[in-house]
Amino acid sequence: MDIKRRDFLKVVAGGGLLLATGEPAFARAPKTLPPNALGILYDATICIGCKACQSACKQYNNMPPDHTYRPPELTDQIWDNPVDLSAKTLNIIKAYKSGTGATKNREVDGFSFIKRHCMHCIDPACVSACPVSALQKNPDNGIVSYNKNACIGCRYCQIACPFNIPKFEFDKPFPQIRKCQLCSHRIEKGEISACCEFCPTGASIFGKVTDLIEEAKRRLQLKPCTYYKYPVSTVTSSYKLLQPVDKYQEHIYGEKEGGGTQYILLAGVPFDKLGLPVLPELSDANRSETIQHTIYYGLIAPVMFLAGLLYAVHRNAKNEDDNN
Phi first, then psi: what are they for 238, rounded to 5°?
Answer: -85, -15
Query: With binding defined as CB under 6 A, does residue 115 bind ligand SF4?
Result: yes
Of residues 11 and 266, the one with the C-beta less far from ligand SF4: 266
CB of 126 to ligand SF4, least distance (A): 3
Of residues 195 and 212, the one with the C-beta less far from ligand SF4: 195
> Please, what's the b/e burial string for 112-128 (b: 16 or more CB within 10 A of its CB; e: otherwise)?
bbbbbbbbbbbbbbbbb
Can you tell me which of 143, 183, 209, 267 binds ligand SF4, judged by CB under 6 A? 183
Residue type, 94: K
What are the DSSP calls for 226-252, one per residue? SEEEEE-SBTT-S-EEEEE--PPPS--
Of residues 8 and 146, the one with the C-beta less far from ligand SF4: 146
Of residues 61 and 294, the one with the C-beta less far from ligand SF4: 61
Can you tell me which of 11, 37, 114, 119 binds ligand SF4, judged by CB under 6 A? 119
> Please, what's the b/e burial string for 272-291 (b: 16 or more CB within 10 A of its CB; e: otherwise)?
eebebeebeeebbbbbebbe
Of residues 85 and 213, the one with the C-beta less far from ligand SF4: 85
Can you tell me which of 37, 194, 232, 235 binds ligand SF4, judged by CB under 6 A? 194
Total number of residues binding ligand SF4 (CB under 6 A)? 40
CA–CA dist 141, 256 (Å, integer): 18
Cross-strand partners of 171: none
> Quick one: which segment of 5-13, 50-58, 267-275, 292-300 binds ligand SF4 (CB under 6 A)?
50-58
Can you tell me which of 39, 49, 110, 231 binds ligand SF4, judged by CB under 6 A? 49
The residues near 298 (Cβ < 8 Å, ≥ 6 apart) are 24
CB of 307 to ligand SF4, least distance (A): 37
Can you tell me which of 38, 85, 151, 203 binds ligand SF4, judged by CB under 6 A? 203
Query: With binding defined as CB under 6 A, does residue 266 bind ligand SF4?
Result: no
Of residues 15 and 162, the one with the C-beta less far from ligand SF4: 162
Of residues 139 and 173, the one with the C-beta less far from ligand SF4: 139
What DSSP element (H or E) covers 128? helix 125-129
Pick out residues in 143-172 that bind ligand SF4 (CB under 6 A): 144, 161, 163, 165-166
Write the burial class of residue 45 (CB in 10 Å: 0-12 exposed, 13-18 middle, 19+ buried): buried
Pick out residues in 51-110 that bind ligand SF4 (CB under 6 A): 51-53, 56-57, 61, 90-91, 93
Rounded alpha-carbon distances, angstroms, from residue 85 to 61, 115, 306: 14, 10, 46
Give the β-pairing of 38-43 and 263-266. parallel
Instruction: State the CB neighbour count (10 A cutoff) for residue 220.
Output: 12
Query: With binding defined as CB under 6 A, does residue 134 bind ligand SF4?
Result: no
User: Binding residues for ligand SF4, per CB under 6 A?
Assistant: 47-53, 56-57, 61, 90-91, 93, 113, 115, 117-121, 124-126, 144, 161, 163, 165-166, 179-183, 193-195, 199, 201, 203-204
